[in-house]
């Protein structure tokens, strides 16, 4: 795709929206994998009868896709079968140390802004970690399993130190005493003219005195190389599209803060970017609709398969997917039409 008039840049300051950035390095325009459209079947497929009580429970719990988030869009582009396992079958997944650490760090950075600007210091932020970890264990008891084999607490202590380092690094990238976020952990949802409902949670929204909007997302991993930066920017453009459709305002800047490597990736979107993302999402949703109706969800093997929790159900690893729990004649568009709100910004 052709590049936009605005370039991607790596910066290290914590200025407000619209601040001039240092010399910018050009990164190619997004190359998002085209969705794989399952081949339609010639006649109606007969859904197998559940063979066990567990299958019955799965069938009752299953539901057709009704909206799209950046994460689920990424799942389908990575592997349609993974999307089915997560969205339709809703198979359980074990918490991972890395993802849980990311949740913890996000919570700390969100809560830090509850304090007055002058008190937003690194020591204060680190002091929030134990309390937020306790809260996470209360709201998501499954994370306790991460350290079930750590009776002395040595691994947990090391894991918490890693979280502290990520929090400390943030202070080298942004200055929270100069920031007054308009929103934190903002739930957004918008329905396109096609009926496709987009939704997600934005880590932080900054609004400059001039009204310019900056969307900020924290990443606890390392920044990708320039040629792979588009994968992360796709998520940010997704959010920008939702904000544009809700408020008729194109965010001035999209900013990814990589705490793992100490990089800040910025991108200034233009209308053409958001229109391209919208077309991409419509094509993606059509592929999801066809897969839902036909029951054909094909695995797409990649190096990421080694991290997947669902190998026991994946044909690529000799497994068998659960019986498809939806009627193959289901109309996704009918499911999408439920609900009257055209858009929302606020608590999910």
Residues of the chain with pLDDT under 50: 1-60, 330-341
* Burial classification of residue 32, based on how many CB atoms lie within 10 Å of its CB (0-12 exposed, 13-18 middle, 19 or more buried): buried
- The dihedral formed by the CA atoms of 68, 3, 12 and 200, expressed in degrees to the nearest 10: -10
Number of C-beta neighbours around residue 174 at 10 A? 20
Q: What is the pLDDT of residue 343?
A: 64
Q: What is the pLDDT of residue 231?
A: 82
What is the sign, positive or negative, of the torsion defined by CA atoms of 5, 278, 14, 206? positive
Q: What is the pLDDT of residue 157?
A: 97
| 3-state SS class at 90 | coil
What is the token pair recorded at 335? 């499911």
pLDDT in tens, 90-137: 999 999 999 999 999 999 999 999 999 999 999 999 999 999 999 999
Q: What is the pTM of this model?
A: 0.78
């Amino acid at each position: 795709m052709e590049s936009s008039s605005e370039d991607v840049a790596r910066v290290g300051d914590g200025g407000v929206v619209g601040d001039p950035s240092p010399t910018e390095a050009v990164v190619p325009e997004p190359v998002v994998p085209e969705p794989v459209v399952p081949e339609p079947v010639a006649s109606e497929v007969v859904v197998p009868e559940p063979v066990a009580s567990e299958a019955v429970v799965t069938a009752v719990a299953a539901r057709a896709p009704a909206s799209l988030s950046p994460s689920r869009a990424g799942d389908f582009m990575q592997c349609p079968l993974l999307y089915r396992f997560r969205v339709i079958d809703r198979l359980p997944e074990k918490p991972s140390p890395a993802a849980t650490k990311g949740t913890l760090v996000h919570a700390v950075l969100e809560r830090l802004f509850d304090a007055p600007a002058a008190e937003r210091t690194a020591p204060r932020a680190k002091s929030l970690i134990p309390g937020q970890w306790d809260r996470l264990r209360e709201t998501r008891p499954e994370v306790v399993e991460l350290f079930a084999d750590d009776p002395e607490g040595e691994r947990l202590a090391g894991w918490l130190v890693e979280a502290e380092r990520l929090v400390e690094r943030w202070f080298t990238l942004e200055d929270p005493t100069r920031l007054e976020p308009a929103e934190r952990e903002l739930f957004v949802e918008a329905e396109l003219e096609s009926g496709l409902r987009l939704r997600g949670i934005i880590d932080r929204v900054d609004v400059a005195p001039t009204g310019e909007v900056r969307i900020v997302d924290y990443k606890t991993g390392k920044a990708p190389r320039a040629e792979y930066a588009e994968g992360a920017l796709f998520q940010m453009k997704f959010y920008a599209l939702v904000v544009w459709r809700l408020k008729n305002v194109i965010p001035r800047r999209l900013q990814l803060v990589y705490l793992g490597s100490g990089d800040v990736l910025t991108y200034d979107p233009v209308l053409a970017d958001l229109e391209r993302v919208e077309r991409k999402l419509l094509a993606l949703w059509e592929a999801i609709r066809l897969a839902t109706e036909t029951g054909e969800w094909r695995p797409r093997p990649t190096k990421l398969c080694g991290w997947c929790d669902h190998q026991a159900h994946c044909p690529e690893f000799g497994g068998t997917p659960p019986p498809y729990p939806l009627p193959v004649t289901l109309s996704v568009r009918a499911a999408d039409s439920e609900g009257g709100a055209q858009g929302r910004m606020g608590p999910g």
